[in-house]
Structure 1
Amino acid sequence: MKYYLSSYKFGNRVDKLIEMLPQGAKVGHINNSKDWTTANPKIRNNHLKEEMEFINSLGFISEHLDLKKYFGEENKLRNKIASLDGIWICGGNTFVLRQAMKLSGFDNIFTELQKRADFFYGGYSAGVCILSDSLKYIEFVDDPNDFPYKEIKETIWEGLNLFDYGILPHYDSDHPESEEIEKEVKRCIDNKWLFKTMRDGEVFIIE
């Protein structure tokens, strides 16, 4: 699988992003990190629309891939993702995103997708933090006790385990969460946890 991992939005390597997928590629946009209980639906939908329009402007075909529609329907989601060339996962609450991934079976499907050299995984903030072995690194940035889905009422601490360290976005950046990220960096150092920081605009690319 190919990865385009940005600290915030699409970052400063959009030129590379265009090269990572063929023109006309189908990209599923996963917005479930913005399902937190106090989210403003209008703002959430506006962000979704803006990002999908941007993806389309790059020559790709985006569609909203709402994991809520696949809760308890893992095979249905697996078949849907098989029809796509890639996914884009936006920022928000990483713990909420993890719940949606668990309930839909996305976490199991992700393990299978890693074997596909042609599949694209792009995202920012929560969409990147979710790839760590644990969500402990961002416990005081995202609320781990927000449960918007009735099926889950306990925090899931395990990430998707692509990385055995934490990724801390928005570091030393003009972002509302930058101050809290600084505190998380100190906590990682104090606990001797491995981590990497990302400044807004920065992108990690894995091919």
Structure 2
Amino acid sequence: MRLYLSSQRLGRHADTLVRLVGKRRNTLVIGNALDYIPAAARAVYAATTYDPVAELHALGLPAGWFDLRDYVGSPIRLHDQLSACGLVWVLGGNAFVLRRAMRASGFDGVIHGLLAQDALVYGGFSAGAIVAAPTLRGLDLMDDPKVGTFGDEAISYEGLNLFPKSVVPHAGSGHRDSSGADKAAQWLTDQRMPFVALQDGQVIVVEGDRTTLMP
């Protein structure tokens, strides 16, 4: 299994991500954590502030946008698309919105199977890192779990369970979400739940049975 979990964007170790990906560099960028934001506003932000596709291209990782909503109820088609890439890069936003898209599309089972085969790298930042944990409990102090829900839709706190601890991004970083991160870290501490608090720039790298917290 290969994971690259960052607090903010690529962090300070983009060279490690490139090495981790290796020769199969085609990248799919999943932005479903931002589904609650109008598409026009997202396009303006990408054009004027931050474009993850362009950032990855600059590293030699050919990237394109990938919308999990196009694969709801179609896990076989999803598997075919993911198995053709070397990196799945999952953006920040709202972790609960992201998890709903992942579950609906069958992403959970597909990504577990491909990672077990060491067929690709799962990478992501902020919400993309949060969802890699076994649970999102406590992270509702950062992200509102009701965003994007419909009526009395049940809220799930189940994570992807790719990484054995909760991941708290933006801790002590001056980020707009840092206050929520500190509250989440305190809640997890009080509950005696294992977690890693990441400052912006820091990255968790998993290669097989080796896990490294990179400063």
CA distance in 2, matches of 1:18, 1:125: 19
Aligned-residue offset at 1:24: 6.7
> Which ranges of structure 1 fall in alignment gaps of 5 or more residues?
none
The 8 Å contact of residues 147 and 153 in structure 1, kept in 2 or not, is answered as no
Query: CA–CA distance in 2 between the matches of 1:8 and 1:168?
Result: 11
CA contact (8 A) 2:115 2:121 kept: no
Partner of 2:128: 127
TM-score (norm 1): 0.91
Check the 8 A contact 2:83/2:120 in 1, yes or no. no
**Cα distance in 1 for residues equivalent to 2:195 and 2:45:** 29
Calculate percent identity across the aligned residue pairs: 30
2:3 counterpart residue number: 3
Q: Secondary structure at the match of 1:87?
A: strand
Task: Tell me the residue number matched to 1:41.
Answer: 39
Superposition pairs of residues 54-93 of structure 1, within 5 angstroms: 54-93=55-94
Flag the 1:48–1:151 CA change in 2: closer, same or farther, 3 A.
farther
- TM-score, with structure 2 as normaliser: 0.88
Q: In 2, Cα distance between the equivalents of 1:88 and 1:196?
A: 20
What amino acid maps onto 1:26 in structure 2?
N
Q: CA deviation at 1:198?
A: 0.2
Q: 3-state DSSP class of the match of 2:116?
A: coil
Shift of the 189–114 alpha-carbon distance from structure 1 to 2, 3 Å rule, reads same
SS of equivalent to 2:201: coil
Report what 1:179 is aligned to: 179
Q: Equivalents in 1 of 2:114, 2:24: separation in Å? A: 20
When structure 1 is superposed on structure 2, of 11-20 and 63-72 the one drifting more is: 11-20
- Structure 2 residues without counterparts, runs of 5 or longer: 208-215
Letter in 1 for 2:111: F
Distance 1:112 1:175 in 2: 34
Could you report, residue by residue, the CA deviation over 1:138-167 in whole angstroms, capped at 9, with x for unpaired residues?
Answer: 01211111235x699221111011233211
Change (3 A) 1:203 1:162: same
Contact 1:7 1:202 in 2 (8 A): yes
Query: How many residues are aligned here?
Result: 204
> What is the letter of the counterpart of residue 42 of structure 1?
A
Deviation at 1:46, TM superposition (A): 4.4
| Contact kept in structure 1, 2:4 and 2:205, CA below 8 Å | yes
Q: AA paired with 1:2?
A: R
In structure 2, C-alpha distance between the alignment counterparts of 1:8 and 1:93, rounded to whole Å: 14
User: What's the offset of the Cα at 1:22?
Assistant: 3.6
* 2:117 corresponds to: 116
Provide closer, same or farther for how the CA distance between residues 23 and 162 of structure 1 changes in structure 2, counting only shifts above 3 A: closer
Distance 1:48 1:163, change over 3 A: same
Query: Does the C-alpha gap of structure 1 residues 183 and 151 become closer, same or farther in structure 2, counting only changes over 3 Å?
Result: closer
Task: For 1:58, give the aligned amino acid.
Answer: L
C-alpha change, 1:151 and 1:87, in structure 2 (3 Å) is: farther
1-structure distance, mates of 2:15, 2:76 = 34
